[in-house]
């Protein structure tokens, strides 16, 4: 797609969308006419009439109490946040005549302007392929890939790959493999909104020819990025400071998990029961993961039980905050508490001294902390019952 075909941010669109972007609180109590003279190519004259909550944008200048004059490119830059309004004023890029006191209020009149989103087309996807070639992905491949994209925005293309070089041609030219897909589905696949394998298995994407060539094709091109209609900004140099940050945080447990944690203070372990299938959830969740109904029945389980699945770790990764690694080996396990069955297990740690006894079916009991605060650490660990 050529730059001339890209949708641009225009002064007309900025003023044309103002009425739909009104901030009711910002215009409340204000009655005044604001004139705007935007000079240069793409400019024009407008009046924003504010009347105690009502806003009307008119073409031309209509008895304004304050008038702003600015070049079109600078007005667009101010609107997009690329040019600070006060800097534009002090540098003379933006000039104001009339009641300057009204300008401060105008800053709150409208919600942020969002540039129009360009339509993604199949033609643009294929048209940008040659500029998106991944050299490593096409190396050693020589084959023609045909594409038949159906629908109003579709067409036929051939991607000719010849050991590192790629040429995209309109029409089908002796393809070794041909992909057929609806235009809207092809766009969704390209944007990552539809998985290619899912599209294939559901029949939305059909392939004829050498299926073995499809695998390498997934690495041919870099990610497609739709044209924004705006010039690409030059990225600033990033300075990286490697530092460990630890910030105090608070998280809400919610009613269900809160009830489970509070019960630990009294040395009680609670599970909640699904009213439909009868399964227990431990730790409890608000909704049964299978039936998708609220599990609002509570059952006290354990505290004793047995080891369902032991997991002995012989290597520990460093703590991301302290950089320290815990001593190994240690054992975490799924514990099947009395009153639970099948996969209704609680994940916790086994006492280090009992690691040699860590086997499925071994009976265990919790060891509680003397000071309990309503946290999973109120249980220090489980120990084997001899």
In a domain, 143, yes or no: yes
Query: What average pLDDT does the structure give for the chain?
Result: 88
Pick from 68, 12, 17, 14: nearest CA to 42: 12
Coil, strand, or helix at residue 201? Answer: helix
Q: Is the domain of 265 the same as that of 378?
A: yes
Q: Is the domain of 373 the same as that of 322?
A: yes
Residue 171 exposure: Cα atoms within 13 Å on the Cβ side:
2
The region that residue 268 occupies, defined by phi over 0 for left and psi between -120 and 50 for alpha, beta otherwise, is beta
Q: What is the CATH number of the domain that holds 36?
A: 3.30.1050.10
In a domain, 259, yes or no: yes
- Gyration radius from the chain CA atoms: 33
In a domain, 111, yes or no: no
Mean pLDDT (whole number) for 256-268: 92
Residue with tokens 């994209």: 149
DSSP class of 322: T
In a domain, 98, yes or no: yes
User: What is the largest distance, in Å, between two alpha-carbon atoms of the chain?
Assistant: 94
Coil, strand, or helix at residue 42? Answer: coil
Split at pLDDT 50, 70, 90, the class of 2 is very low
Quote the pLDDT of residue 313.
86
Query: Torsions phi, psi of 369, nearest 5?
Result: -70, 150
Q: Is the domain of 21 the same as that of 66?
A: yes
Quote the pLDDT of residue 244.
62
Q: Is the domain of 137 the same as that of 97?
A: no
Coil, strand, or helix at residue 14? Answer: helix
Q: Which two tokens stand for residue 118?
A: 């360009």
**80-119 pLDDT per residue, tens:** 888 988 889 889 999 999 998 888 888 889 999 988 777 8
Out of 217, 238, 268, pick the residue that ends a domain. 217
Coil, strand, or helix at residue 256? Answer: helix
Q: At residue 165, does pLDDT exceed 50?
A: yes
Quote the pLDDT of residue 97.
93
Q: Is the domain of 305 the same as that of 337?
A: yes
In a domain, 247, yes or no: no
Quote the pLDDT of residue 63.
95
Quote the pLDDT of residue 266.
93
Quote the pLDDT of residue 70.
96
Residue with tokens 């004793």: 304
Pick from 169, 161, 181, 147: nearest CA to 221: 161
- Count of domains observed in the chain: 3
In a domain, 37, yes or no: yes
**111-154 pLDDT per residue, tens:** 999 887 778 899 999 999 999 999 999 999 999 999 999 999 99
**179-223 pLDDT per residue, tens:** 999 999 999 999 989 998 888 989 999 999 998 898 889 899 999
Domain that holds residue 70: 3-106
Q: Which two tokens stand for residue 280?
A: 């227990």
Tell which wins on pLDDT, 57 or 317.
57
Q: What is the sign of the dihedral through the CA atoms of 277, 283, 284 and 290?
A: negative
Quote the pLDDT of residue 188.
93
Q: Do residues 256 and 282 touch, judged by C-beta distance below 8 A?
A: no
Q: At residue 326, does pLDDT exceed 70?
A: yes
Q: Is the domain of 177 the same as that of 146?
A: yes
In a domain, 237, yes or no: no
Split at pLDDT 50, 70, 90, the class of 164 is confident
DSSP 65-125: SEEEEEEHHHHHHHHTTSS-HHHHHHTTSEEEEE-THHHHHHTTSBPPP-PPPPPP-HHHH
Quote the pLDDT of residue 43.
94
Pick from 205, 237, 228: nearest CA to 218: 205
344 alpha-carbon distance from chain centroid: 33
Q: Is the domain of 83 the same as that of 143?
A: no
Q: Is the domain of 200 the same as that of 99?
A: no
Mean pLDDT (whole number) for 44-68: 95
Q: Is the domain of 77 the same as that of 134?
A: no
Quote the pLDDT of residue 116.
77
Q: Is the domain of 90 the same as that of 136?
A: no
Quote the pLDDT of residue 17.
93
Q: Is the domain of 138 the same as that of 99?
A: no
- Decide: pTM greater than 0.85: no
Quote the pLDDT of residue 126.
94
In a domain, 134, yes or no: yes
Q: Is the domain of 286 the same as that of 378?
A: yes
């Amino acid at each position: 797609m050529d730059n001339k075909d890209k949708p641009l941010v225009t002064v007309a669109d900025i003023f044309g969308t103002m009425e739909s972007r009104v901030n009711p609180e910002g215009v409340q109590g204000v009655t005044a006419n604001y004139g705007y003279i935007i000079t240069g190519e793409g400019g024009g004259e407008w009046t924003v009439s504010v009347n105690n909550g009502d806003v009307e944008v008119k073409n031309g200048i209509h008895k304004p109490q304050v008038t702003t004059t600015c070049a079109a490119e600078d007005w667009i830059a101010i609107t997009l946040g690329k040019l600070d309004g006060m800097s534009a004023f002090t540098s003379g890029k933006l000039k104001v005549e009339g009641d300057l006191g009204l300008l401060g209020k105008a800053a709150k009149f409208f919600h942020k302007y969002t540039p129009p989103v360009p339509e993604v087309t199949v033609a643009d996807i294929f048209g940008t392929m040659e500029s998106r070639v991944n050299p490593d992905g096409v190396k050693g491949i020589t084959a023609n890939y045909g594409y038949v994209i159906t629908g109003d925005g579709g067409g036929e293309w051939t991607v000719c790959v010849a050991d590192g070089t790629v040429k995209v041609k309109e029409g089908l030219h002796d393809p070794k493999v041909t992909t057929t897909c609806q235009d809207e589905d092809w766009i969704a696949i390209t944007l990552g909104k539809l998985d290619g394998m899912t599209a294939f298995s559901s029949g939305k994407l059909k392939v004829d020819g050498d299926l073995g060539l499809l695998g390498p094709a997934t690495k041919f091109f870099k990610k497609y990025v739709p044209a924004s209609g705006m010039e690409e900004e030059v990225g600033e140099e990033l300075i990286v400071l490697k530092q460990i940050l630890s910030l105090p945080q608070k998280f809400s447990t919610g009613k269900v998990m809160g009830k489970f944690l509070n019960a630990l203070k009294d040395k009680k372990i609670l599970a909640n029961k699904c009213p439909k299938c009868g399964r227990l959830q431990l730790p409890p969740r608000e909704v049964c993961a299978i039936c998708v109904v609220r599990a609002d029945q509570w059952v006290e389980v354990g505290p004793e039980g047995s080891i369902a699945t032991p997991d002995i770790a012989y290597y520990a990764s460093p703590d991301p905050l302290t950089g320290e690694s815990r001593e190994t080996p240690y054992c975490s396990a799924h514990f099947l508490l009395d009153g639970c069955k099948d996969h209704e297990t609680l994940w916790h740690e086994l006492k280090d001294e009992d690691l040699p006894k860590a086997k499925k079916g071994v009976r265990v009991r919790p060891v509680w902390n003397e000071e309990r605060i309503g946290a999973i650490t109120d249980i220090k660990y489980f120990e084997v019952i001899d």
